[in-house]
């Protein structure tokens, strides 16, 4: 007759060692990953939330980069407009000075030409990442129109994700339009009333 001898104390100690070993493996895994919840088996609800948050965090990083790009485009256009305003103010001063008796008008005309050239340079150089909001040309890539910029990342209550954008119509800020002059703030004509004694009552002037 076969007899099996068991040692209850030894079996209990072995079970304890197995439990300790399993706990150590889990603790080592947590330490190496830096995550308390590593898989769904640890805690399904928390694991799902953590996975979603990590995914959203990566998306937010990409959105932040895109917002920075949009801000850089805006800053470039703003800097260009500020410079153009300074030049136009200088042109205004020259035109006022030209009405003074004895002024060298030929010299003023040359200065005005230089200032107009500056306006052209400012408009064409106000470009960032291939977009120019102050200058419009005949090519499709340089034509004025509505530009889209990433504005925000939104996760709705039902879990759906969407990217919100900000639209800006660059035709409102174009200074020079090489294709259609009337669309540019500086290239469109301005009709003024002629002084008395002239042959025509009105005249159209172009700054650039």
pLDDT bin (cut points 50, 70, 90) of residue 130 is confident
Q: Mind giving me the DSSP string for 58-124?
A: HHHHHHHHHHHHHHHHHHHHHHHHHHHHHHHHHHHHHHHHTTSTT--HHHHHHHHHHHHHHHHHHHH
pLDDT for 13 beyond 80? no
* Phi/psi of residue 171, nearest 5 degrees: -65, -20
**How many domains, the chain?**
1
Inside any domain, residue 41: no
**Burial of 12 by CB count in 10 Å (0-12 exposed, 13-18 middle, 19+ buried)?**
exposed
Q: Which of 116, 208, 126 is nearest to 170 (CA)?
A: 126
Identify whether 11 is part of a domain. Answer: no
Q: What is the mean pLDDT of residues 14-29?
A: 69
CATH number at residue 167: 1.20.1330
More confidently predicted of 177 and 48: 177
* pLDDT higher at 208 or 88: 88
Give the pLDDT of residue 4. 54
The 10s digit of each residue's pLDDT in 153-198 is: 888 888 888 889 999 998 889 999 988 888 888 888 877 777 776 6
Cβ atoms within 10 A of the Cβ of 40, count?
Answer: 12
- Does any domain span residue 112? yes
Give the orientation angle of helix 44-97 with respect to helix 105-125, to 10 degrees: 170
In a domain, 37, yes or no: no
Place of tokens 């800097």: 79
Residue 137 inside a domain? The answer is: yes
**Which domain range does residue 65 map to?**
46-205
Domain-embedded: residue 32? no
158: in domain: yes
Q: Which range has the top average pLDDT, 24-38, 79-93, 162-176?
A: 79-93
Phi-psi region of 3 (alpha: psi -120 to 50; beta: other; left: phi over 0): beta
Contacts for 70 with CB less than 8 Å, ≥ 6 apart: 149, 150, 151, 166
Does residue 130 lie in a domain region? yes
| pTM assigned to the model | 0.68
The H helix count followed by the E strand count for the chain is: 3, 8
For residue 33, pLDDT over 70 is answered with: no
Residue-level pLDDT at 29? 60
């Amino acid at each position: 007759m076969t007899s099996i001898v068991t040692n209850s104390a030894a079996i209990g100690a072995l079970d304890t060692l197995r439990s300790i070993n399993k706990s150590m493996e889990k603790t080592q895994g947590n330490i190496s990953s830096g995550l308390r919840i590593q898989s769904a088996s640890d805690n399904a609800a928390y694991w799902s939330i953590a996975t979603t948050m990590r995914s959203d965090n990566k998306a937010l990083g990409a959105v932040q980069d895109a917002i920075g790009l949009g801000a850089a485009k805006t800053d470039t256009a703003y800097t260009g407009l500020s410079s153009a305003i300074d030049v136009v103010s200088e042109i205004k001063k020259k035109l006022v000075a030209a009405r003074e008796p004895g002024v060298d008008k030929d010299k003023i005309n040359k200065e005005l030409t230089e200032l107009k050239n500056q306006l052209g340079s400012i408009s064409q150089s106000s470009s960032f990442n291939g977009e120019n909001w102050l200058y419009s040309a005949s090519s499709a890539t340089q034509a004025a129109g509505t530009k889209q910029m990433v504005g925000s990342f939104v996760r709705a209550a039902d879990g759906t994700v969407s990217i919100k954008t900000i639209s800006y119509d660059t035709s409102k800020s174009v200074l020079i339009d090489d294709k259609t002059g009337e669309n540019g703030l500086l290239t469109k004509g301005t009709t003024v009333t002629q002084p008395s004694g002239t042959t025509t009552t009105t005249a159209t002037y172009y700054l650039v």
